[in-house]
Amino acid sequence: MQYILTAPSALNTTITLPSSKSISNRALIIHALSKGDLMPDNLSVCDDTEVIVNALMCNPDVIDIKAAGTAMRFMTAYLSVTPGEHVITGTERMKKRPIAVLVDALRYIGANIEYVGEEGFPPLRIKGHPLAGGYMEVPANISSQYISALLMIGPVLKNGLELKMKGDIASRPYIDLTLWMMREFGADADWSDVDTVKVNPKPYQQHKYLIENDWSASSYWYEMMALMGDQESTVALRGLFDASKQGDSIVKYIFSLLGVKTRFVEEEEGAAPVVKLKNMPCLLPRLDYDFVAAPDLAQTVVVACAVKNIPFRFTGLASLKIKETDRIEALKHELRKLGYVLRDENNDTLIWDGTMCEPTFEPIDTYEDHRMAMAFAPAAIKFPRLRINNPQVVTKSYPQYWDDLEKAGWKIEKVK
């Protein structure tokens, strides 16, 4: 399947964003560990959340989490402390995404985990049983999801968990989100030092829980506004909170540098707030930014800056190489199709200094990566009839993305 995209001349729309995948997935694991029967409200309906729901409800011997990296990490820790034997597997790409850091940590506290295939990678055979917990040290510069997976099982460990993170901590806001949600469910967990979290063996308590809408999904609408660049366009996004614990809420600051102004308004008493986006002049000559705390925003900002002809140097991107695809290489390859020549350094830095080449305008490949499709689609504002291959990948986090674009006036031609 291929989509051919034509952007409207201006934006004037109101969008209800999907529920937060990050919060939904954490809420499901914590809910299961609490042994409660009150499912969280407003759960995400994306693929990544659906595989966790199915695994928890059906409890099959073989759990296929497909392409959901969060599910692989969270479910590995959950199954380690839950009685029963399971094999957890996924797509061919998932079988190439490293998980040794998490497996080694769980084995250190007594987990029974075996590699079914290649050492260090899924699939895994897990025989769950109660674990003692205690003190451990883990590298923290690869993925915060390893840290969050360990922290969430901390309250059910006999001795709790004291987790020291070695090296630069990747995506710290996501760890803070995990701790905040754990405390929402009654856990006793917090930072005891700048690099250490202590979780006491205090059980979770079930209660009703409402999932926020997704700040990560808002980034594509910020990108569209930035690329429109006109003073008439407006976008209203429902269900986003100014004081959100979601790390990607930093998007409102990043795009303020690119000329998009954010305003929070209450439409009626008791209703969820509405974020209204308007454009203002953007005089930024170049942008340097460290994405270590918000790597999922990198693709969106990379494409936005290139298409706006704003040179950049973005660091803190090491985790992009182990995502759904090697996102650094994917961005370099696909932006070259539009005429932008990027280079990378040290496996964690992406640079565009204004170098251009002859564009080919070949279809944009998505690499089974939802964020590639959603980050490149707004480029059709500058490149009419931009073609996107395998656009259905958006179901991983934002299933109604294309419907929302059509609602906002985009023309989408579907070619099989």
Q: Catalytic residues, which ones?
A: 296
Return the H-helix or E-strand segment holding 225.
helix 215-228
| DSSP H helical ranges for 5-118 | 21-33, 47-58, 69-80, 100-108
Q: Is 9 left (phi over 0), alpha (psi -120 to 50) or beta?
A: alpha
Kindly tell me the number of DSSP H helices and DSSP E strands found in the chain. 12, 19
Question: Distance of CA 148 to CAs 47, 78, 173, 264, 358, Å?
Answer: 20, 11, 11, 30, 44
Task: List, edge to edge, every strand of the sheet that includes 62-64.
Answer: 62-64, 84-89, 124-128, 112-115
C-alpha 84/C-alpha 63 separation (Å) is 13
Query: What's the DSSP call for residue 243?
Result: T
Burial class of residue 136 (count of CB atoms within 10 Å of its CB; 0-12, 13-18, 19+): middle
C-alpha 33/C-alpha 31 separation (Å) is 5
C-alpha 137/C-alpha 67 separation (Å) is 28
Per the CB < 8 A criterion, the answer to whether 393 and 369 are in contact is yes
**Residues present in the chain in total:** 416
Of the candidates 203, 155, 108, 171, the one whose C-alpha atom is nearest the C-alpha of residue 319 is: 171
AA letter at 93: R
